Structure 1
């Protein structure tokens, strides 16, 4: 008799999945590996130490909370050794795709005997809208489950390889990937591109997301910080970020805002948007990591769409 384990992308979808009463246990992957330093050895002591230090410093996550929410769930995953079929439930966005790579990298080492399936939501109808799992009806989720993709050994090796590159100190190696279409990851190429656009641009020293934050402040003229966060969440493309992440991003850009109630830019903020000046020297923090790479050791050339090492 084969047995099943489901690994989901978050608590909200875990709740939804429980109501569907599918066979098998459910583990929730509670991490946000798209932000902060990552190490290749997923689940190791140094991996979790690095992650806690980042989350504690940037999101005020306490040790007790980290142990309770993240480490206990990870230990539960470690203890689920009997299941020989594992279903991964993730979404199209950068947040999910980076977590997915890490989970597969872990499974490659610790669950060699298991068949690994992927259910990944995104393009679900004839529109250009991309859907998260929680936005789908129960019937649609069950249909995705019935047509889940069995990952080949090549898929697993490739996901692990991309994870190693994501954790390396040089994003140019990620930039040179070109064979995405040979593997069962429909959204990986677009999210790796979104990741590369998170390095500061030559044009104004801000990355694509930060520039977008200023542009939306200018265009939408939100009446309050709360309205501003709503606008950012709706207009973030394939990042898949939460309000906490945008709140932190706004705080980093605080000197470029004259007011948050209503939301207005300073003259410098407007000049940066026009490309008349750069914010690079003001933003240069020495310990900001994107995967394994230091954010401010690289620049993104928006014209050639290539990354340059400083």
Structure 2
């Protein structure tokens, strides 16, 4: 997969330093490849100062339709960290949208931006389903509502809850105590008044899936989802992760079939999208966090000294 132009190569060796699988080495003062499986990460191509390396199968451009692409990498420390943090804090879960339609080209750009996320062993095993119209989102909402109607009918039955506790833990009982009432009210509002408590009026949606056989498909899909959320905000859209749909789709074969999700893929996120009807004036606060700081190296060193002194 790696093609080296020996006329351009200056033998600097940077490519051999960054290759995760050590497939590149300097031979006769020029870079060359050795046998092994290339993961197609493109590090060698990105680091080469003379443009001598090409990784076959990797497109240089994402093909964005609504943004101008630049191929010059931003070096560590070159981007304004304050602006990045402000973007992250400014993105809020949107629960109030206008009726304006989101262009398909913009939704396709968001998917391509999602693929710039890191993935385990560079598998890039994610996939995406775009629902470009409000009518499409409503179909998914109806399917989700059908699933939770059935679940609520089971959960409200004491015999079902008893049998579930005997043979499958207390998950159904926990659902009944924590979610049954709010879900029942949301279903009533949807059926009787057309109030959308699920997608909140979002006019489009993106579903993010991952190949089950990948090394860490859930993490890959969620990292791609975060890219989509931040890019959506930067491009003028509101967004919201819809966890209830994910839970329903994981248990409903009918929903998976309707959303064209193959058997070898799992659904990991559903993102509602649209133009926000509300503008926030300042960022919201976050709960303080106190990370656990571990000095394992010094602990091991002290333990080793103690052993040697015995």
* Larger of the two Rg values belongs to structure: 2
Decide which structure has greater helix share. 1
Task: Provide the TM-score with structure 2 as the length reference.
Answer: 0.24
